[in-house]
Amino acid sequence: MTQNWRGKPLVTHQVIVELIASSRTKTGLTVRGALDDGAYATGLRVSDNQLAEVHLVPDHFHGEWNCALVPAGQGELSH
């Protein structure tokens, strides 16, 4: 994506979404993107207990960066 965005001014959210959506890899991976202009509450706090209940499953590819949220007790994701 950094190659795709080089020299492009990121002046609006729509420009960013369009640049993301036009990204392609050499092997043919395409990306879809859409602007979510919904209103979301800010300033919400998550307690340590609530965060401890979040079940993150690392992905097999760079699990230190990529993970999925799965319901507790569901174990590993199928790939």
- For every residue of 5-51, DSSP letters joined together read HTT----SHHHHHHHHHT-B-TT--B------------S----HHHH
Domain of 2, in residue numbers:
1-37
Residues 1 and 25 in one domain: yes
Same-domain status, 52 and 32: no
- pTM of the predicted model as reported, rounded to 2 decimal places: 0.42
Residues 2 and 23 in one domain: yes
Domains of the chain: total: 2
Q: What tens digit of pLDDT does each residue of 22-58 get? A: 888 888 888 777 888 899 999 999 999 988 888 888 9
Strand partners, 67: 58
30, 62: one domain: no
